[in-house]
Structures are given as structure tokens and as C-alpha cells.
Amino acid sequence: MMEIETLKLAKALIAQPSVTPDDHGCQPLLMSRLSALGFNIETMRFGETDNFYARWGNQGPLICFAGHTDVVPAGDESRWNSPPFTPTEREGKLFGRGAADMKSSVAAFVTACERLLLQQPDLPLRLAMLITSDEEGDGHDGTKRVVETLKQRGELIDYCIVGEPTAVDTLGDMIKNGRRGSLSGTLRVHGRQGHVAYPHMAANPVHLAAAALAELTAMHWDNGNTYFPPTGFQISNINAGTGATNVIPGELTVQFNFRFSTESSAENLRQRVHTILDKHNLHYDLDWTLSGQPFLTTAGRLTDVAQKAIKSVCGVDAELSTTGGTSDGRFIKDIARELIELGPVNATIHQIDECVDITALAQLSAIYENMLQQLAWPDASLHK
């Protein structure tokens, strides 16, 4: 029954072409299931983004499941072995855009709550679900705005479980208990355009910036710590010139990104970059974008509960990790005492023929249910 219900709901969600930020009917489907359980639903539409925040119960710690219904575009659909928005079972896997990222997790959230609340209507917990349709896009009107609203009202979350795909090889082998910060820069180094045969009459910004860029790429920013690898600096794009081989460019544009640990701050990284650029006497403009601060949930109650649930359901010892990109957890951590990310294998996310193991659907739902039982009762085995 567990496998059938979670699979059916995952298929229903995948069938909706909810390319960010268009929810395309996913959230009404979820809200109807949660309303039937007695959740109070609050819709929050900001701009073109649909969000909802659902609440159940009035006693005990608040546990929030958080996720998104939007997906990235399917790309060239002719390259898919089955249509991306036609959920298809094949070779023990469920194929479709969003199967791994993250409609299966959302389906598992709902079915875990359904089973537990039908069996334990007096559950000594408060439950919440925060769902957005703007995680894969710019994120301005999604979880960020919902969290701002909740923060203004003084609403806090004790434990938050984000359903991002975190597993590497098999369900449960990795839990994200934090994420690195992301700081991007667009650097424009100004020179003077001219003819390559008369370099003394021009100033080549590529040549001028070369030493500074070399220093930036070689810089040791920090050592990281127990939970985070050292901060990394990567240049993602360099562009200059008119396209003609006999023209010295007048401007160089460099795009770069820091993925930084809690050992560095965004402000400190900015200052160090400017110090290096100024040392090389460059004439430049630099625009910064901070996509997210690093956040961390140290090993504690929530990570312990998650690891025990995974061991019980999958027989796997889960590793705690902060690797990978950013997620909406960076916003929710502002109002959540403890937060982790836990979801299916991420090997096919954003790819052609995205898929998830069908057996993992029921297992993931069981993990979420087991976690709720542990958080509700010290000896969850008494209530299975």
C-alpha cells in the first residue's frame, strides 16, 4: 500500500509540466490531500510564484517538510526515451522530469503524513509543509518570501526536512546537514582598444588582469572545518575582444564564483578580492551577487533521528555532508533550529531521462514516517 500510494502521487505530480515557476496544478493536488488530513492551508502567491504553507496540530515541536513542485525545462524532448511529462515505469525505475528533483520526495512527504496521522490522530507533534514553485528559477518569490512572512509573524520551526535529492549511490547514503555559501562576481577590467600592431597606443585589459587573476586562482582562502571543505574560487567565464584578431580589446569581463565555508564571510571575501585587484592597479568595476550564506546543523537530535531511520529502513549508514550546490535550506535556516536535506539519489537530476528507483519511493516515505515517530516518542517502535 505504501509503495502504491507514493508511486501514484509521484506519477500524478510528474505528469504536470510544472516548468519553473509554473506550478501547473501540482499544489492544488497536494493541498487537497493535506486538507483531508486536517491541515490548515495558507496559500502565498508572490509575483508569478505559487507557494503554500500548511499546518497541523497544536502541541509539541514543529516539524516542517519543505520542497518544490517546479522543475527545470526538459530540453530536447526527442532525446528522451519516454516523454518527460509522461511518468513511465521501466526497468524498476520511474522516469520523468522531476522524478528525482524533487516530486518523489514531495509525494513521500504527503504519504508519510497520511499513514501516520490516520494511525495516530493524537500525534504529539505539530506538522508543517512548505511548498514552492520557484526553487529552480531565480527564487525571489518562492521559499525566501514565505520565510520572510513567517519570520515577520514570529513563527519558528524546530526541525525542518528538505526533500532535495542527496543520495549518491543508494537511498540514504548521504544526508546534507549544511551547504556552502555562494558568492558570485562580475569583474570588468577597463583598458584601451587599439590595433595589435601598435600596442604602445593601447592598453590590453587581458594582459593587465592576468597577474591578478593568477593570484586569485592560486589564493588559499581558508582551511574549511570538520563539516566544510575549504572555500573554493572558480572562474566560470572570460570574455574580451571584438572577434577580430587584429584588435586589442578595450574591456575584459570575468565571471567567477566562491563556494565558501563558515570559516569565511562574504564581506571578508569581497575585501580580499578588491585588495588583490587594487594591488595590481587595475581600472575596474566589480558587481557582487550573494546567492546564499553558508548554513550548518551540527550533529544532534535531527541528524541522529535521520540516521537511525535510514538504518532501520534501508540498512545503510548515512554520511553527513555539506557538499553540492545551494538549496532553499539557506532561507529556511533563518527560522529553523535544526535543518537537514534528505532525498533520493541525485545521479540523474536535470538530465535527459531523469529517474528514481521505484523501490526508493516507499523507502523514502517510510524514512520520513520513522523520523516523525522518533521525534514524537522516545521509543518509536511502540507506535509502529
Distance (Å, whole) CA 254 – CA 272: 17
Q: Which of 214, 322, 216 is nearest to 269 (CA)?
A: 216
The answer to whether 161 and 340 are in contact (CB under 8 A) is: yes
- Cell reading at 78: 526527442
Say whether 350 counts as a known binding-site residue. Answer: yes
The answer to whether 53 and 44 are in contact (CB under 8 A) is: yes
- In the annotation, is 70 catalytic? yes
Distance (Å, whole) CA 121 – CA 101: 31
User: 135, 141, 341, 357: which one is catalytic?
Assistant: 135
Specify the 3-state DSSP secondary structure of 333: coil
- In the annotation, is 50 catalytic? no
Say whether 164 counts as a known binding-site residue. Answer: yes
Say whether 338 counts as a known binding-site residue. Answer: no
Tally Cβ neighbours within 10 Å of residue 48. 12
How open is the CA angle 158-154-178, to the nearest 5 degrees?
40
Say whether 278 counts as a known binding-site residue. Answer: no
Distance (Å, whole) CA 166 – CA 11: 21
Q: Which of 346, 366, 296, 342 is nearest to 65 (CA)?
A: 342
Strand partners, 64: 128, 160
User: 22, 23, 70, 338: which one is catalytic?
Assistant: 70
Name the strands in the sheet holding 355-357, side by side, starting at the edge strand that comes first in the sequence: 88-90, 93-95, 355-357
- Cell reading at 374: 522518533
Give the torsion through C-alpha atoms of 343, 345, 347, 349, to 10 deg: -40
Say whether 207 counts as a known binding-site residue. Answer: no
- Cell reading at 211: 597577474
The answer to whether 338 and 300 are in contact (CB under 8 A) is: yes
Which residues are the active-site residues? 70, 135
Q: Which residues contribute to the annotated binding site for Zn(2+)?
A: 68, 101, 136, 164, 350
